[in-house]
Structures are given as structure tokens and as C-alpha cells.
Amino acid sequence: MGQACRMILHYTDTEYEDTVWEVTKREVWMDAKSRNDVSLDFPNLPYWIDGNVKLTQSSAILRHLARKNGLYGLTDANADEIDMLVDTAMDLKLGLIKAVMGNFDNGRDEVIATADAKFLQLSNYLGCKKFLMGNATTVADFALYDALKWHNALDGHLVSKYGNIVEYIDRFENLPRIKAFLKSPKFQQPFFPPFAKWGNGIDNPTTFKCRQVENQGA
């Protein structure tokens, strides 16, 4: 869940310490998120510490980094719209997460149908814009990227039928700092942990172009 946060940090050339725990070593990362020296109000992974700022919840961390680095639009109206887009991306992610952690064989078709309706809305919203909010990237683009890549790996027809979304993904991935991040060791491959029913790097690792881990730095 920290992938978009990590991507923003790389994009803004922010130096940070990225500590990753193996999800299969539950006792290690459970201890890591509840260490006394960290003192988190709501212990969880990922978490972010920057001076007196101590945050958990990936969406809260993502929004904090975006505000700090000028990726939240120019007006309050922009910010409202960006919040809507970030939450839409989270809905897409959570729908797939719920399926792969449960009865994936029976839930896959429902996930695809729900996502397809959202992608039609997204395609109409994006139109001919370069990025979601226009010519400049915002936190909305970082939030949505993972959701698009997850669903594209699940069923390529979900995305490929919308030419403007395909071009949008390509445009985002070819931003110099994003391109560098995708080639860096920080970019990790499986979407979900090994015990997930899909996207765990075990079923068909060659399809993955996006990675997901739990981490400390973001």
C-alpha cells in the first residue's frame, strides 16, 4: 500500500529511508509497527516519520506528501476534485484486494464488471487531458496508477479498450523520474502478499509491471 507514496518521494527527489519487512515474517513486521521508539498513535504499516510528523494509513501519507510537494492542485476546488479521484482509485484497489484475499474464483467476474464501469467513467473524465487534472501531474495520478496497472494485469481488455487511458499510462510511465523509479530497486514486483489468490508474484510473474510491498519509509 506504500507504492504510490514511494513513487512520489522518488518523483520529488526526496531523500528517505525505505525499510521493508517480509510480509511472510508476521512476527517481525508486527513488532516493527508497534515498537516503543516509533510511538505511533495508530500502529500500522506502512508508516511515515518526518521530524514530529508520524503518520500511518497509506492514503494519509500520500496526501501529506502531495501537499508538502505541491502536488495537490492550485485551488481548493482543485483539491476537492483530486480528493474525489484519490478515493476513486482507492475504491478500485480495495475491490480487487477484497477479491484476491477471499473467494477469488467466484469474485473475479464481479471485480471486472465493477472496474469496467469505472474505467468508462474515467475515460470520459480524462478526455484529451494530458494528466487527470490537466497538463501537470497531481497526487491523483500517483494514486490511480497502481489501480490501473493491477486491473490491466487482471484483464488487459479492461484498459486496452480505452485508447486515452492507454496513452495516459504510457505518458505517466515515461516521465523521466517515474521511468527511473520503475527501473530502480525501490520498485518491487508482486502486487499482493504470497497468500493472496492472485497478484502474488507466484501465479504468473511475467505479467507484472507494477510492485507492491509494505514498508516503513512510505
Q: Angle at Cα 205 formed by Cα 201 and Cα 210, nearest 5°?
A: 75
Does residue 146 lie within any of the structural domains? yes
Pairwise CA distance, residues 47 & 45, whole Å? 5
Q: What is the pLDDT of residues 74-88, one digit of tens each?
A: 999 999 999 999 999
Residue 200 lies inside a defined structural domain of this protein: yes
Domain containing residue 108: 1-12+70-211
Residue 62 lies in a domain: no
pTM, whole model, 2 decimals?
A: 0.84
Q: Is residue 59 part of a domain?
A: no
pLDDT of residue 24: 67
Does 128 reside within a domain?
yes
Domain assignment present for residue 198? The answer is yes
What CATH number should be reported for the domain holding residue 125? Answer: 1.20.1050.10
Residue ranges in 42-103 assigned as alpha helix (H): 58-68, 76-100
CA nearest neighbour of 7 among 201, 194, 175, 168: 175
Express each pLDDT in 158-202 by its tens digit: 889 999 999 999 999 999 999 999 998 888 766 776 777 767 765
Q: How far apart are CA 15 and CA 33, in angstroms?
A: 21
Domain count within the chain? 1
Residue 22 covered by a domain:
no
